[in-house]
Each structure stands twice: as structure tokens, then as C-alpha cells.
Structure 1
Amino acid sequence: MNERLYMGVDIGTSGVKAIAFDQDGNEQFKAHETYPLETPTPDTAVQDPELIYEKTRAVIMEVAEHCENKVACVSFSSAMHSLVCMNESGALLTPLITWADKRSAHVSKRWQADGTGHTLYEKTGTPTHPMSPLCKLRWLQEEQPQLLENTAMAFGIKEYIFFRLFDVTVMDESLASATGLMNIHSLEWDETALQAAGLFPSQLPDLVKTTAAFHSKDQKQRDSLRSLNLSPDTPFVIGASDGVLSNLGVGAINHGEVALTIGTSAAVRSASRTPHIDDKGRTFCYLLTEDHWIIGGAVNNGGLVLQWLVEEFVKEQHQSIGLAEATNTVMHDTKDVPPGANGLFFLPFLTGERAPLWNPDARAAFLGLSIAHTREDMVRAALEGVTYNIYSVLLALQELIGVPQAVYASGGFSRSSSWKQIVADVFDQPLYFPTSYESSTFGAAVLAMYALEDIQDLHHFKNQQLIEEKIEPNTENVKTYQELMSVYLDLSRSLAPHYERLTEMQQRLNGESRKNPVHPRT
């Protein structure tokens, strides 16, 4: 084992993981902890910041113990768009409001309708959507102005962890570029966005580079690092968002290279040397470093759709043999269903949608369903519908970057041979699967090596990238899917005007109020 190890820590929505990599990029030790997402109403998605802080400490401690004082640096990846408000004494005023929280939907709709949203998007690179901390802050301003007045600091989960560890209020430019509050052209908090949010600049953390390193500066902090099984002199690199670090981790950081991830949600992202804004507002633009930008789109409904199908279509089987085995069985049963699912389409918007619609009211639907269709057809149609939607994001991205030169794929869908083939056929592109699936965590470790000048540039591992598998598209299937994709897009557009009415009807029937409480901490 090499003497210097680099720990990447990835703070996700469902859990946190820490992995130690050696100087050659090989994984050495790993630890993982989970925590719940609280959803007391359909539009609410919050978490306990203190629990996430403790779980983060736990995984760092476990990995560091195995590393025997060889950790050269700890670097962070984090989920985007989270928000927590803290008062002047350091007490939390809200739970952690995650990207999945949709209670600010009326704000984003209003801004989309009156043009404010696009004006802000052109400045910040963040589409107007309830995921955005900008929209969340405006919602808080309108619902509980006293809460925001008592807020001394508004930031996300990674910033809270750094506040607890080092008593600093800072945010890296990568996560800041996903808040809807930072001007991606000047790399400063945007005055127009702050006015829209009803916030003063003093209520936001200081902006720092993604390579910024923090050290213990007093005995208390040194003791805190020792309690994590680390040397008290270990630097902590603040890192970046999970999305941009995933591109770095799979090696998709050159122009024309695309990173595709399909897990519970999904995303398509490509790198650029300069920020890019889509005239139609369909894609985001987030920073990795000042000369590395990631543009693309994230969708809510990836593997989540398959999980829902298994849980609802084979409920008894799922309960008796477990989700993983039931999923394998369902996927095996669909292998003989031909492309196009015998003329059945599925719009996969079970949880509203981010890219390319940016519409929290979008709803799912089977279209073309007849008595001749089987459960296997419905599962195949669902996998195809998810893939069509992801591909529609790539079509928007292609208008900015051109046709991809290479697609690097990762995520849970890689365990399914049939789904991998569907994606290759719909995309009409070979898919390259790197050997490591821990792309965001590895990206954080690479950024740490770069910050410490142990590597000279972010392309250091590019030529060493190991490809475990390559999936080629099937020519005949490509022709079929090109025709079906056109139908899917027409169907999706035709239903778009009805989504808001459907949502209002569902809320009325379920007794849900349009405006949900903030659920302040007690």
C-alpha cells in the first residue's frame, strides 16, 4: 500500500460514504451510513442535519482507523440544493430542506410565468424549480418572514458540517452555483437573486474555491480531528457537488464527453471550459473549477420507477424474497419483450420532473395500454420511458455541445443487461462503464490530490481510466427507437397542459393544502 491515502466523503440524500484511495486511484477502505428522508406530506422532504453530521463523523472515523495515520487529506462531495437556516447563536431554525422538497412550487411557477425565472437562470445557471434554494428562501420569506428575519446564516448540509468542524461559514463555488443565488459570470452572490429571495449578503456564507483547504486552528479543533482517528494537521478540502465530481470521477471532463448516471434519479452531464446557458432554460450550468464547468440536466425518475413497479406489481414476492431479488426476477421476465413494449408507452413522472420539463406537477402515465398487454410489457415500457426522458435531456444538451464523442455510464442500472442495451440503443451510442462505480467519491479524492499539488491537473487519471464493459447499440433497435422517441416526445408535450389541473385535483382528493407548513425545529 502506498503511504499517502486520500479520503473522499460523499454526503448523499439517503446516506454518507467515505472511501480511502491510494495515489494510483485504487480503493482501499470504505464505510457507509444511512439516514432517513422525512416526508410527512407529499411535498415535504426534510432531514435532520445533526444526524447527518454524526453519521459523517462516523464514516470518517471508521475509514481513518483502517488507514493508520496515512490520510493525507479529506475531501468532500455533497448532494446539491439543500437548505438549512441557523440563527446568530448557531441554533438551527429549520430541518435540512432537501432538493426533493416541493413546497416552493408556487414560487417557481410564478417566476416561470412572469419571466423572472429565465432572467435569474441567465445569471445563475440554475433552472427555476422548487429544488432551488433560491425558491425555498422566497417561500420561507412569504410563509414565515419572521423565521428568515431571525436567520443569521442560510446554507446547505456540507456547509453545516464545516461550520461544526472548523467554526467557519463558507460555501464552495460549485455548490453555490447550484443554489440559484450565485452569478456564474462574476462568481459572486447575485444582487438580483438575493433581492428575489429576500436575503441580505451577510446571511450567506463566504464563497471559496473548490480546492480550498481548512486546518484545525485551536486545541478544540485539533482534539476533534484526533477523535476522528486523524492527525490534527490533516487538511480538509471543501470539494464540490456530487454531480460535477461524478464527471471528474468517470473521466468525462473533456469537451464532448458525457457522463450518464442512472440510480434512484438520473443525470446527463458534459464538461465545458466556459459556462453555457440554454436559451430555453432546459439545462443547468454548475462549476467544478474556474476553467471546468459542467452542463446538463438531472431527472427525478430513474431507478425509482423500477423500484415502484416491483413494490406494487409483485408486492407479495417483494415482501417474501426482498427488493433486490424481486427486481432481478422482474427484469429477467422482461428480457423477451421486443423494443417498443408492443406499442406501450410510459411517461415516467412519478415524482414530478426536473430536466427537461422543470415541472413539479408533471405526472406519470401509461399510454396505449390494451387488454393484450402484460405485466412484462409494462415493465419494459417503464424502462424505455425513463430512458426516453433522459435522452430528451441529452438532445437539449447536444444543442450546446454537439453530438457526444463518448458516453461514460455508471449507477445501479449497470446491473441490468437489458436496461444497459435499451440505453445504448436509444442513445445510438456505445456506453463505457468504468470499473469503479463510486464516481463522486473518487472525484472528491482526485480534487484533493490536485489541491495538495500531488497531481498537476485534473486529467491525471484520464489515461489510466479502466473500462470494465462497453455496450454497443443494436442497429435494428436504433431504427425502432428513433421512431418511438418521436412518438414519446409528442405524447409528453400533449399532456403537459393538463399536469397542473391533475395535481390540484389529487391534492383536493387527498385533502392536501397547497401551502404546507415549514415544520420549524423545536
Structure 2
Amino acid sequence: MDYLIGVNIGTTCTKAVLYDQDFNALASASRSHHLFRDEPEMLEEDPDEIFDTVVDTLHEVVGKTDLNNGTLRGVSFSSMMHSLIGLNRVNKPLTRVLTWGDNRAAKYAAEMKQNGAGLKIYQRTGTPTHPMALPYKLIWLKNEHPEIFERTTCWLGIKDYVFWRLFGVLKTDISSASASGLLNLKELDWDKETLKLIGISADQLPQLASPYEQVRGLRSQIAAKIGLPMDTPFILGAADGPMDNLGVGALDQGTTAITIGDTSGAVRVITDQPRFDIEGRLFCYALDEEHWVVGGPINAGNTVFSWAGDKLFAPEKQLANMMHEESLDVVAKIAKTIPAGSDGLIFHPFLNGERAPMWNANARGSFFGLTPHHTRAHMARAVLEGTVYELYAISLTLETVVGEPRQIMATGNFARFGLWRQILADVFQSPVAIPQEQDSRTLAAVVMGMKSLGMIKKIDAIKEHLKKAATCQPDPATYDIYQSLVPIYVQLSSDLQQEYNAIADFQHKYCHFN
């Protein structure tokens, strides 16, 4: 029996999963990451802590592997996008990890969006104008922290840093690079115009490589700690967003993959070449040299649902904990008591700003339509529906670029909530398939690893091994309700753009929360 390990370095945790050659998950381990919010709009992590989580999860999973009856062929990776670390001349971190959720570059992204420079960067790189993207993070550092900017000799992402610590190489895969806003998608090389605008050179960035590239020669102390031979191949892998599509087999243009995880969600479609939205509302990233992912992300995930539970249902959550029940399940049960449409209550889930399709880091959450009739239960359902409305708004934009979907596949932690699955099917008025495999990113990493190692010829071999998905059918009785509410939802978020900026300015000036 041959084994592979898939590792996903996510925003909130690192997870390693052991698979056999038939894509069956046999063992797993995970470690959480500490998030730093020392000031408003900050969302940083400790790169060395994340490196330790990779080593620790690998050590645990390797310990669960029966190497007497098989061979561990390799380790392959998936990793969060839009992360940035600055290294000094001896390759020691000068910064923490600036994650995708760090919005401190909002001012500079807004300026570039207004003067048109951001759209030009998008047209070359496929990365929308938003503080998550590296051009704006770098411009922010250049202006706000010049002492760091001037001392940095290498800018890289978190997976690149992990490979540096493991092997002493400075490489990045083209998938992760394509999400940086620094890679020219047509040339598959660092974009000279963007680098010149920022004031950095290609020599300050990692060497570009294929997602299928193998790296060998683990540092001896690390190899001993993990329990692996030093010559074990580690495959670079790809960015976690495109990996979601691969992990559920959504590899053709007619299949839309919708994901909601702990901190964010997205709507994505695979294409055979880069495709762009003329208004810059969608991203275009690489999975590999032959597959491209077009779509849009939202900042709402389980964190928004958790916020609703913490702020609206604290007593119920406490009772659930005492009874050893999942607190979010309790909130979902309460929301289920309310009819579709929440009796006209609409929630905009912009607690952390928003990305697609508006790309406004200053966007703020709100309930709209409150009356004396509405209860906390209405608010709970409105939170679920608002998240789906935002995904649907992205889907409408996506259709203008890639056409209408023939199939929708939903993955992520939210997929385990039956009510959310039903709302998704009802708002989209389309059947929604729920794959049984929910660790799509670690599975996708293993698929890439298998192709790299010659165990499979094409990555679409995954389709033959995926277990049949359950399907949630839309309820026709909800059609008129959601078709009436969605336009109101979209129009409100469009009309409030100036007010979002104004209230964000007020909060930055007078409020003291992170």
C-alpha cells in the first residue's frame, strides 16, 4: 500500500491528513493558529508558530502510519492565499504573517481603485483591488513602516516560509503566486510594471515553480522530529481556493463550487484559460499550468455564525455546552423555526469588510427591515440567508464571464448544516450537491502529489474515486420570496458605499475595538 500526506495551512489551523493510494483518509491531525489583532484592521499570525504546527501535525500523522505494510510516498501542500512575510538579509522574519484578512492597506487600495491603477494591475494579474492583495500591503508597508520595507530582502508567503525552514529553498508555486497580485498571468512571471510601481525587484521574490515540483533534502533535525527520511519528496502544491475545486472534482466550466469555511467563503469555476471581469469584480487564479479558477470570495464564514451565537444566543450556547452539544447546531435549530425570507428581515454579513463583488474593506454589517414583530430567531435565520445572498450576488457576476452553471457543489463547515444547504438550494433555485469528502484541500494536495509522483496521469482521476454526493433540492414555494428579497439586498449594499466609508472613518477615529 502506498500512502501520501496532504497538508493544508489554513487561516485558523494547519491540518495534515494521511491518505492511501485509493484516496481514503486514514488519519489526521490539526493545530490551531493564534490570530493577532493588536490594532484595528490587523489580522496577523506568527510564521514560526505556523511552521511548528506543520511539523507537529506531520509528526502525529506519520506516527499513525503503518509503514510495515506500505510506503509513504510523499507530502503535498495546500495553503492560504494573500499572505505576506518580510525576511531580512539572513532570511529571518522582520514581520509576522500579514493574512488576507488584514485590512490596514485599505487606504492605499482605495486610492489605486479610484485612480484606475488598481484595475490595470487586475487586468495583468487577475487579483482584484483590495487590501488583501500584496501590492497594496507592500505599498502600505513602504509608507507606514519604511524601516521594515527598506530592510526586507525577500517577500514571500507562509507556505514559502515553511519550505524555507524545511529545506533552505526560497520557492513559490505559480498558483499561490497568481493570488498575490504580483504575477502576470499571461507570462506566468513576476509582473514588471507592478513591481516597478511598488518599488521592489523580482530578486526580492521567491523563485517561481510548478505546483507539481518536488523538493527533497529535509534538514536533518526536522526530519528526525517528524519521523521521515530526509529524501522524502515534498510537493509544493497550490493555493487553497483553487484546491477546493480540485478536491470535490469541480474541474469543468459547468460546475460551480461554493465553499464556506471558518473565516471566509467563495464561489469558483474552473476554466481552461485566464478569464477576467471587465469591472474587476472577480478574481482569476491558477490551479496549475492548465487550469484556472474564476470567482469571488466573501469575508463571511463560520465566524459570522459564531458572532450571532455569541451576541444573540449566549444563554442557549452556554446550555448547549453543558449538554455537550455543538452551540452552532443550537443556533441553526432556532433559525429553522422561522420561515424563508425571515419575514422581510435582511442581514448584510460585512462584519470584516467585504471582498467580492464590491471589494470594499470598509463595508459594515447591518440588519435591515426590523419591526416589532422580529425576534432573535428571525435574526439567526437572516444571518444564514444574508451569507447566501452574498454568494448569489457573486454567482450573478460570474455568469457574465463563464455562463450559467449546470451543477453546484457545496463544501466547507457550513455544508453540515441542513438548513444552510436548503437555503442555498432555494436562493439559487438549483440542486446543490454535497460531496461526502469535506477535507477537500488536503485531498486535493494529495491528488497533486500523486500526479507529481507519476501515480496518476491527470488530476481529474479524482472523479473516479469521490464518493457519491448527496443532493439538496430547491423548494419551489420559496422562489418568489427570495427573488423579491435578493434585489433589495444587492441594491442596499450598492447604495451604502459612501456610508460604509463614513462609518468606518468614524469607528477608526472614535472607537477602540479591534
TM-score w.r.t. the length of structure 1 is: 0.95
User: Which residue of the other structure, out of 24, 42, 45, is the alignment partner of 1:44?
Assistant: 42
Q: Deviations over 1:404-457 (max 9, x none)?
A: 111111112122211110000101111111111000110000000011111010
Q: Deviations over 1:33-84 (max 9, x none)?
A: 1121111122111111111111110111111122244210100000001111
What is the distance in 2 between the residues matched to 1:449 and 1:112? 41
What is the distance in 1 between the residues matched to 2:335 and 2:225? 51
User: What secondary structure does 1:245 align onto?
Assistant: helix
Post-superposition offset of 1:488:
1.3
Q: Give the counterpart letter for 2:491 in structure 1.
A: D
Q: Deviations over 1:240-265 (max 9, x none)?
A: 01111111000001111111111221
Q: Is contact 2:437-2:466 (8 Å) kept?
A: no
User: What secondary structure does 2:404 align onto?
Assistant: coil
1:430 corresponding residue in structure 2: 431
User: What secondary structure does 1:459 align onto?
Assistant: helix
What is the distance in 1 between the residues matched to 2:466 and 2:6? 18
2:3 corresponding residue in structure 1: 5
Q: Is contact 1:223-1:232 (8 Å) kept?
A: no
Q: Give the counterpart letter for 1:396 in structure 2.
A: T
Counterparts in 2 of 1:31 and 1:112: CA distance versus 1, 3 Å: same
Counterparts in 2 of 1:67 and 1:511: CA distance versus 1, 3 Å: closer
2:465 corresponding residue in structure 1: 464
Q: Is contact 1:314-1:326 (8 Å) kept?
A: no
Q: Give the counterpart letter for 1:138 in structure 2.
A: I
What is the distance in 2 between the residues matched to 1:285 and 1:8? 24
TM-score w.r.t. the length of structure 2 is: 0.96
Runs of 4+ in 1 over 4 A off after TM superposition: none
What is the distance in 1 between the residues matched to 2:77 and 2:112? 33
1:184 corresponding residue in structure 2: 185
User: What secondary structure does 1:10 align onto?
Assistant: strand
2:166 corresponding residue in structure 1: 165
User: Which residue of the other structure, out of 28, 31, 34, is the alignment partner of 2:32?
Assistant: 34
What is the distance in 2 between the residues matched to 1:330 and 1:181? 41
Which structure 1 segments of 5+ residues have no match?
A: 517-522
Q: Deviations over 1:130-189 (max 9, x none)?
A: 111221111111112232121111101100010011111111000000110000110000
User: What secondary structure does 1:491 align onto?
Assistant: helix
User: Which residue of the other structure, out of 201, 208, 232, is the alignment partner of 2:230?
Assistant: 232
2:63 corresponding residue in structure 1: 65
What is the distance in 2 between the residues matched to 1:418 and 1:66? 36
Q: Deviations over 1:376-396 (max 9, x none)?
A: 111111111111001101111
Which has the larger displacement, 303-312 or 117-126? 303-312
User: What secondary structure does 1:67 align onto?
Assistant: coil
1:81 corresponding residue in structure 2: 82
Post-superposition offset of 1:334:
2.2
Q: Is contact 2:388-2:424 (8 Å) kept?
A: yes
Which has the larger displacement, 263-272 or 324-333? 324-333
Q: Is contact 1:351-1:360 (8 Å) kept?
A: yes
Post-superposition offset of 1:320:
4.6
Post-superposition offset of 1:225:
2.1
1:317 corresponding residue in structure 2: 316
Post-superposition offset of 1:269:
0.6
Which structure 2 segments of 5+ residues have no match?
A: none
What is the distance in 1 between the residues matched to 2:66 and 2:382? 50
Q: Is contact 1:137-1:198 (8 Å) kept?
A: no
What is the distance in 1 between the residues matched to 2:478 and 2:314? 32
1:474 corresponding residue in structure 2: 475
2:509 corresponding residue in structure 1: 508
What is the distance in 2 between the residues matched to 1:295 and 1:241? 13
- 1:369 equivalent to 2:364? Answer no
Percent of residue pairs bearing the same amino acid type? 38
User: What secondary structure does 2:64 align onto?
Assistant: helix
Post-superposition offset of 1:223:
4.9
Q: Give the counterpart letter for 2:465 in structure 1.
A: Q
Q: Report the number of matched residues.
A: 508
What is the distance in 1 between the residues matched to 2:64 and 2:190? 41
What is the distance in 1 between the residues matched to 2:46 and 2:58? 19
Q: Is contact 1:222-1:233 (8 Å) kept?
A: no
Q: Is contact 1:428-1:473 (8 Å) kept?
A: yes
What is the distance in 1 between the residues matched to 2:325 and 2:209? 41
2:14 corresponding residue in structure 1: 16
What is the distance in 2 between the residues matched to 1:54 and 1:66? 19
Q: Is contact 1:7-1:19 (8 Å) kept?
A: yes
Post-superposition offset of 1:227:
2.9
Q: Is contact 1:424-1:431 (8 Å) kept?
A: yes
Q: Give the counterpart letter for 1:17 in structure 2.
A: K
Q: CA RMSD in A?
A: 1.5
What is the distance in 1 between the residues matched to 2:409 and 2:49? 34
1:519 corresponding residue in structure 2: none
What is the distance in 2 between the residues matched to 1:144 and 1:497? 28
Q: Give the counterpart letter for 1:269 in structure 2.
A: R
Q: Deviations over 1:479-518 (max 9, x none)?
A: 3211211121122212122111011111222158xxx9xx
What is the distance in 1 between the residues matched to 2:389 and 2:246? 25
Post-superposition offset of 1:305:
1.8
Q: Give the counterpart letter for 1:152 in structure 2.
A: T
Q: Give the counterpart letter for 2:393 in structure 1.
A: S
Q: Is contact 2:160-2:170 (8 Å) kept?
A: yes
Q: Give the counterpart letter for 2:392 in structure 1.
A: Y
Q: Give the counterpart letter for 2:298 in structure 1.
A: V
